[in-house]
Amino acid sequence: MKTNTTVDFKYNFVYYKYKQHYSNGRVIGIASRAGFLFDEDFNLTDVRYKDLPGSYIYGIYEKGIGYLDSFGVTGLKLISGPFKDFPVGDVLLVSYSTDEPSIQDYDCYVKGWEIISFLKGVYENSDYDIYPIYLQFNARFEEYRMKHIKEFNPSYNLHVSIFGFPAGYRKDRRFKGIEKMMAYEYETEKMRRKEQWEKDKEYLENHRKY
């Protein structure tokens, strides 16, 4: 149990909404009637969702649905799964005590699309540099998108989803979010992405295997 300097109580880095219970070979989630959350060992705490700082990110984590703190992260490691299972097979190891988490030494892990929302939270709430992890994840994302281009919105940009501004934009670090982006620069980026998508479509049509 660690102390988050932004709040005045001791806390767990993860809280779960449901306690796992096995019944007839199935896993059943049992919630507290009073709305209290469970810690990583499924012990009932005196913490409710409304008590959590904004740095907690809602999602499906190692042991179920809950809230993982994006504040105080000291180490991340992305383990890539089979490409055909991207991104569900990808795992992001999270540590709050070491800068080099491993399979034998980590605090919690994040899987699949939850990786995007958690990286965004770490970028906004921790001092940890997520850019190397972003580049690794984005490379797989772009390769997957090219193979399934009809399934993706051409205007979707992973960089914007995580950082809140297009790649190359000089963002004022005193402000968060896309609201500080100049409208002209934003529209220019959208147009560039659209043109690139048209080129990608033409390339795929010319190189389609029958």
Which tens digit of pLDDT belongs to each residue from 10-59?
568 999 988 876 667 676 677 877 889 988 888 888 888 888 888 999 98
Residue-wise pLDDT tens digits, 124-149: 999 899 999 998 988 888 888 887 77
Q: Is the pLDDT of residue 168 over 80?
A: no
- pLDDT for 181: 40
- Out of 79-88, 89-98, 117-126, 147-156, least confident range: 147-156
pLDDT at 177: 39
Q: What is the mean pLDDT of the chain?
A: 76
- The amino acid that residue 40 corresponds to is E
What does the pLDDT read at residue 172?
42
Q: What is the pLDDT of residue 148?
A: 76
Lowest-confidence segment of 39-53, 93-107, 180-194 by average pLDDT:
180-194
Report whether 111 contacts 91 (CB < 8 A). Answer: yes
The pLDDT of 88-94, averaged and rounded, is 90
- On the question of pLDDT at 205 being above 70, the answer is no
Residue type at position 52: L
The residue written with tokens 């005045």 in the block is: 8
Higher pLDDT, 59 or 156: 59
Q: Where are the domains of the chain?
A: 2-147, 148-210
Query: Structure tokens of 62?
Result: 């190692």
* φ, ψ (nearest 5 deg) of residue 108: -160, 165
pLDDT band at 6 (very low <50, low <70, confident <90, very high): very low
Which pLDDT band holds residue 5 (cuts at 50, 70, 90)? very low
Total Cβ atoms within 10 A of residue 202: 10
